[in-house]
Structure 1
Amino acid sequence: MLGDAWLWVAVEWSPPAYAEFYAPGGGLDTPTTVALLVAALVKAALLWLILRAPAPGPLDRRAKALRRLLYLAVAYALVLWYPIALLPDAVDAAFQLALWTAIDVLYLLVIRWRSRMLRAAAGAMFAVELAGMANELLDELDLPELASGGIVELGLILGGVAATIITVVGQRRDGRWSRGTQVAGWLSVGVYALVIPLNVLFVGRISSGNLATPVMMDAVGLVGTVWIAATARELPAEGRPADLPPALRRVIRVAVAAVAVVPIIALIHPEQTPRLTYTGWSMDCYDRPGFGDLKPAERDAAFLCRARSIEGGVPPMFPDSLSDQEILAYGRALCRTKDRDEQEAILTRAGSARPAWGADPWDLVHVCPEIVGATHPELLRSTAETKAANAAYIAEQNAKCRDPWPRTKGAVQATAKYFLFVDGDPGYLVHDPRDEGAEAEQAMDKVYDDSARIGVAGGAVLIGHVEDVVDLCLTVKAFRTSPPQRTAGWDQVNEVSIVSRSGRLTVPEMGEGGEVGAGAPMPNLAIAGKGRYRLRVYVRVDDAGEEQHLVVVFPGASRKRLKLKP
């Protein structure tokens, strides 16, 4: 709605697309609208404090530089963040690191700390703050970070808070800054204490469409900008504003106390509120090891991660209104169901947003391995066991394939099972893997138009299968000259042209963890280097319905397409 868009822009000073990102669909809900109206009043008052004229008085060169940099930081917080956000994230991180490095150095030089120990402590805290910014820049540049881990990251965040605290202490000892400015500094510390836990507490809800909380967090976050602006405004030694009256001081003390207490109150839930150990946004849920890699005590947590997962934008299996124990109980009930209808009934009773989907055995195995393992023993394996089982299966399938020309040896050759997509795969490629053109896609388009199901496009040939199979036996051979045709015993024999621009021609292999490709290493068939080759394809289906392919490659300049056996 147009009215919602104007309200969002007027209060949040950001494009309406930001609101659409967090709450797609149909405009702002009532709590968000109320939050925006309240935030408008709060931000208007804070903006008036920010835009007050600088105090008159002489400034030395360092103080002038500090004032300009502080006002640049204010401009960034109010306006410049948006155009800079359009640039790569590394630019933003580098800008902030450079800006606050200069500000912190000038803080050490301009503020009259009146204590070497306090100045040294301030320098240490500023260094920790800048280390956090440098760490973020290294992360954006994909370079090795200074440190990693949750504890280190928390330490860097707290270092930034400590830098603010020690700066306010320095302002108090300096004597130039009014009580109001110092209170704004302490309030900005209180905002840290408010925003950090709320950000952790509401991260899942914010991302699921609740905008009221981030709107209010954004409004109170402007207090830090008020403090920066007041610090710049009151830099002159003369003309310090008069102290606030006692009544106003009491109001400010109450406000500071409220900011300190509200986060604690927000973290205390009613007794009936469900306890959520893991949500769809928990960092511990991103790593999903195999069942066999988990300790028994970790299996319930793994199921909770999956039950509340919203990965891929899909709704979770269970709503957040259910506690951990309720979800585990529903999970064990799902294990005892006989069909999807019973699962749907249980999920409907639990309030699931997707009851018709049921529950998958690879999720339920974590709460009832004895039941799921009886019908799906492969789900009980560890990652190493799964890898070994897959390797053994591929080796077994490769052993079933035989060289159809055992007496005719190529310069290079290989025989393996080629695995196709179960849900439908047009075939396999013989191509130049270093050619980054769109020829593979062109060959795929052409394979459907060819009766022999061979699509040719320069350096890529897509060879289709004639039967509805999920794998086939493939032998590839490369010769230096054209071998005998030998069409007897084959259903189809066709010969086409292919070019190698890099000196390589090969068939895709099944990579680690892959499902499609050759089950064994495939050689480079372009044995004469760059140039044009002839590619002959032999296809047959035996009495058991197994499809066999023989691909023969040899140098040849002809571009003709030959059908040697229809």
Structure 2
Amino acid sequence: MRGELGFLCNARRYFPAVPDDQLLAYGREQCAAYPDRRVDLSLIAAICPPAARQWDRRLAAEQADIDRSNAANQAACDRARHRPLIKTVGVARDMVWSEIGLTAYEDHEASSGEPPVLQHALVGSATGYLVIGTSAEAQICLTGETYRRRPPVEVEGWDRVVEVGYESPTGDFVIVAPMSGPGAVPDLAFLGKGHYRVRVHYREPVWDQDLPQHILVMVFPGASKRVIVHKG
């Protein structure tokens, strides 16, 4: 928002007790001092056209960098798409960001009230609650696949592969990135509530190229609660 009202709304976050007229006077003084390096562009842009032009250029440049990074990450996700070895019920993909890993939580009285412990720093499971550990410093290429029968184990090209049991009390088993909200990977409990096996594959980010990490989640029927480390 530009203009005096926009300036006052922004400035109130930093100077909540200063009267409007004094804030406006301060803002105009700062504008008069532009392009002094000590001037806060984000604060005075609303009432200072020359500062606003520089601020807008800066924001546009930052957005362009974000867009380029997102495009490069999406291209990396597309290049590394998993090709299932047997017929799937469904496949869904998304590129997400999370500083606290991925989770699936079902709102039900039987669901665990405490986050499960990660097994081999990758996946943890409890009734109605699944967590997947990821790096907080890279985007995530997330793929979810569902199968009617146990798929072949694949470890080549993955850094860790861990399989756990999961009980869905509602049939609403959706993995989300808590910082991003629901993504494009839909309900994985394709048979409704009941017991499943969840096999999680993880590939580290390509750090020197600033490219994303990869998570592949395979879900298929199974009552066992055994933790199997296929690669770790």
**Normalising by the residue count of structure 1, what TM-score does the alignment of the two structures yield?**
0.35
Change (3 A) 1:479 1:406: closer
Name the SS of the counterpart of 1:494 in structure 2. strand
Q: 1:393 to 1:562 in 2, by over 3 A?
A: same
Contact 1:540 1:547 in 2 (8 A): yes
Percent of pairs with identical residues: 25
Q: What is the aligned partner in structure 2 of residue 413 from structure 1?
A: 91
The change in CA–CA distance for 1:316 and 1:404 in structure 2 (over 3 A counts) is same
Q: Deviations over 1:442-483 (max 9, x none)?
A: 23xx23xx4323222221111102x45231111110111110
Instruction: For 1:370 and 1:531, locate their aligned partners in 2 and report how far apart those are by CA, in whole Å.
Output: 58
Corresponding residue for residue 332 of structure 1:
31
Q: Counterpart in 2 of 1:370?
A: 53
CA distance in 2, matches of 1:504, 1:394: 29
Aligned to 1:303: 7
> 2:188–2:219: 8 Å Cα contact kept in structure 1?
yes
Pick from 93, 97, 102 the counterpart of residue 428 of structure 1: 102
Aligned ranges 1:141-160 → 2 under 5 Å: none
Which of 486, 491, 495 lines up with 2:163 in the alignment?
495
Question: Residues 91-130 of structure 1 correspond to what in structure 2 (within 5 A)?
Answer: none
1:530 aligns with 2:210: no
Gaps (5+ residues) in structure 1?
1-290, 292-297, 344-358, 380-385
> What residue in structure 2 maps to residue 559 of structure 1?
225
| Residue pair 1:494, 1:563 contacting (<8 A) in 2 also | yes
Amino acid at match of 2:192: G
Instruction: Work out whether residues 165 and 196 of structure 2, in 8 Å CA contact, stay in contact via their aligned partners in 1.
Output: yes
**Pairwise CA distance, 1:560:** 0.8
Say if 2:128 and 2:167, in contact at 8 Å, map to a contact too: yes
Pairwise CA distance, 1:502 = 1.0
Aligned mates of 2:71, 2:172 — CA distance in 1: 26
Shift of 1:398: 4.1
Deviation at 1:505, TM superposition (A): 0.9
3-state SS in 1 of match to 2:143: strand
CA 1:442–1:540: 2 relative to 1, 3 Å: same
Instruction: State the AA in 1 paired with 2:220.
Output: F
- Contact 2:101–2:131 at 8 Å: present in 1 too? yes
SS at match of 2:31: helix
Amino acid at match of 1:305: C
Aligned counterparts, 1:438-449, within 5 A: 439=112, 441-443=114-116, 446-447=117-118
CA distance in 2, matches of 1:490, 1:408: 19
Deviation at 1:564, TM superposition (A): 1.1
> Structure 1 321/500 Cα, relative in aligned 2: closer, same or farther at 3 Å?
closer
> Which structure has the bigger radius of gyration?
1
**AA of the residue aligned to 1:455:** G
Distance 1:329 1:490, change over 3 A: same
2:200 partner amino acid:
V
Q: Answer yes or no: is the 8 Å Cα contact 2:101–2:177 preserved in 1.
A: no
| Structure 2 match to 1:463 | 132
Secondary structure at 2:77 match in 1: coil
Q: For 1:17-36, list aligned pairs within 5 A.
A: none
Computed over aligned residues only, the root mean square deviation of the Cα atoms, in angstroms, reads 3.3
- Distance change in 2, residues 1:501/1:475 (3 Å): same
The alpha carbon displacement at 1:509 in A equals: 6.2
Asked whether the equivalents of residues 509 and 522 of structure 1 are also in contact (C-alpha less than 8 Å), the reply is: no
Structure 2 residue identity aligned to 1:415: R
Amino acid at match of 2:154: R
Q: Which has the higher contact order (CA 8 A, sep 6+)?
A: 2
- Contact preservation (8 Å) 2:138, 2:205: no
1:561 is displaced (CA, Å) by 0.9
In the TM superposition, what whole-angstrom CA distance separates every residue of 1:56-93 from its partner, at most 9, and x where no partner exists?
A: xxxxxxxxxxxxxxxxxxxxxxxxxxxxxxxxxxxxxx
- Aligned in 2, Cα 1:440/1:399: closer, same or farther, shift over 3 Å? farther
Deviation at 1:418, TM superposition (A): 1.7
Q: Is the 8 A contact 2:110 2:127 kept in 1?
A: no
Residue-by-residue CA offset, 1:225-266 (whole Å, 9 max, x unaligned): xxxxxxxxxxxxxxxxxxxxxxxxxxxxxxxxxxxxxxxxxx
User: Retained in 1: the 8 A contact 2:95–2:142?
Assistant: yes
Letter in 1 for 2:133: G
Q: CA deviation at 1:337?
A: 3.5
- Whether the aligned pair in 2 keeps the contact of 1:440 and 1:461 (CA below 8 Å) is no
CA contact (8 A) 1:472 1:548 kept: yes
CA deviation map 1:103-135 (0-9, x unaligned): xxxxxxxxxxxxxxxxxxxxxxxxxxxxxxxxx
In 2: Cα distance, 1:550 partner to 1:440 partner: 26
The answer to whether the Cα contact below 8 Å between 1:364 and 1:372 also exists between their aligned partners in 2 is: no
Cα distance in 1 for residues equivalent to 2:160 and 2:123: 11
1:506-525 equivalent positions in 2, closer than 5 A: 506-508=174-176, 516-517=180-181, 520-525=183-188
CA contact (8 A) 1:497 1:532 kept: yes
AA aligned to 2:128 is G
Q: Give the corresponding residue for 1:547.
A: 213
